[in-house]
Amino acid sequence: MHQHILPGKSYPLGATVAADGSGVNFSVYSRNATMVELLLFSSPEAPTPSDIIRMNIPNNRSYYYWHCFVPGVRAGQVYAYRVHGPYKPEEGLKFDPEKVLIDPYSHLLTDNLYNREAARKPGSNLGSSLRSVVVDFSDYDWEGDTPLNRNGNRTVIYELHVKGFTANPNSGVKDAHRGTYRGLIEKIPYLKELGVTAVELLPVQHFDPNDVPPPLVNYWGYNPVAFFAPHRAYSADNSLFGPINEFRDMVKAFHKAGMEVILDVVFNHTAEGDETGPTLSLRGFENKDYYILNDKNKYLYANYTGCGNTLNANHAVVKRMIIDSLRFWVAEMHVDGFRFDLASVLSRGVDGKPLQDPPILWQIESNPVLAGTKLIAEAWDAGGLYQVGSFAGYKWAEWNGRFRDDIRRFVKGEPGLVETVALRMAASPDIYTDPLRDPARGVNFVTCHDGFTMNDLVSYDKKHNEDNRENNRDGANDNYSWNHGTEGASNNPAVETLRKKQIKNFMILMFAAQGTPLFSMGDEVRKTQLGNNNAYCHDNEMNWFDWGLLEKNEEILRFTKKIIRFTNENEIFSWCSPWMNGGNFGESIMDLHGVEPFKPDLSPHSLSLCFTLKDFWYNAYYHFIFNSFWEPLVFRLPRYANAEGWKVVADTGNDAPYDFFNPGDEPTLPDDKYTARERSSVILLSRMK
Question: Would you say residue 522 has pLDDT above 80?
Answer: yes
Work out the mean pLDDT of the chain and round it to a whole number.
96
Percent of the chain with pLDDT over 90: 95
The separation between CA 629 and the C-alpha centre of its own chain, rounded to angstroms, equals: 34
Q: What is the mean pLDDT of residues 126-139?
A: 96
Domain boundary among 139, 166, 198: 139
Q: Provide the domain count of the chain.
A: 2
Of 536 and 586, which is predicted with more confidence?
536
> Could you tell me the residue range of the domain that residue 38 belongs to?
14-139
Instruction: Report residue 28's pLDDT band, with 50, 70 and 90 as the boundaries.
Output: very high
Known catalytic residue at 378: yes
Residue 240 inside a domain? The answer is no
Q: Which tens digits make up the pLDDT trace of 428-456?
A: 999 999 988 999 999 999 999 999 999 99
For 492-513, how does the pLDDT look when each residue is reduced to its tens digit (9 = 90+)? Answer: 999 999 999 999 999 999 999 9
Helix or strand holding residue 420 (H, E): helix 418-425
Q: Residue 8: how many CB atoms within 10 A of its CB?
A: 22
Q: Of 264, 341, 406, 524, which is the active-site residue?
A: 341
The answer to the question of residue 473 being in a domain is: no
Q: What CATH number is associated with residue 34?
A: 2.60.40.10
Condensed to tens digits (0 to 9), the pLDDT of residues 296-318 reads: 999 999 999 999 999 999 999 99
Residue 673 in any domain: the answer is yes
CB 78 within 8 A of CB 41: yes
Residue 550 in domain: no
Q: What is the 3-state secondary structure (H, E, C) of 545-576?
A: CCCCHHHHCHHHHHHHHHHHHHHHHCHHHHCC
pLDDT over threshold 70, residue 653:
yes
Q: Could you give the C-alpha distances from 548 to 7, 522, 531, in angstroms and in order?
A: 60, 11, 20
Tell me, yes or no, whether 324 lies in a domain. no
Q: Give yes or no for a cis peptide into 58 (omega within 30° of 0).
A: yes
Q: What is the per-residue pLDDT across 386-397, written as a single tens digit (0 to 9) for each? A: 999 999 999 999
In a domain, 597, yes or no: yes
Of 139, 172, 197, the last residue of a domain is: 139
Whether residue 222 is contained in a domain is answered as: no
Domain of residue 655, CATH code: 2.60.40.1180
* CB 610 within 8 Å of CB 592: yes
Q: Is 26 left (phi over 0), alpha (psi -120 to 50) or beta?
A: beta
Category of 517 on φ-ψ map: left (φ > 0), alpha (ψ -120 to 50) or beta: beta
DSSP 8-state assignment for residue 348: B
Q: How much is the average pLDDT of 410-429?
A: 97
The single residue of 378, 398, 419, 539 carrying the catalytic annotation is 378
The residues, any chain, with a CB within 8 Å of residue 42's CB and separated by 6 or more, are: 50, 78
Q: Which of 104, 121, 139 is the last residue of a domain?
A: 139
584: pLDDT strictly greater than 80: no
Q: Count the helix, strand and coil residues of the chain and give each as a percent rounded to the nearest 5.
A: 25, 20, 55
Query: Quick check: is 661 in a domain?
Result: yes
Say if CB 80 and CB 41 are below 8 A apart. yes
Position 684, amino acid: L
Contact 33, 65 (CB under 8 A): no
- Band of residue 588 on the pLDDT scale cut at 50, 70, 90: confident
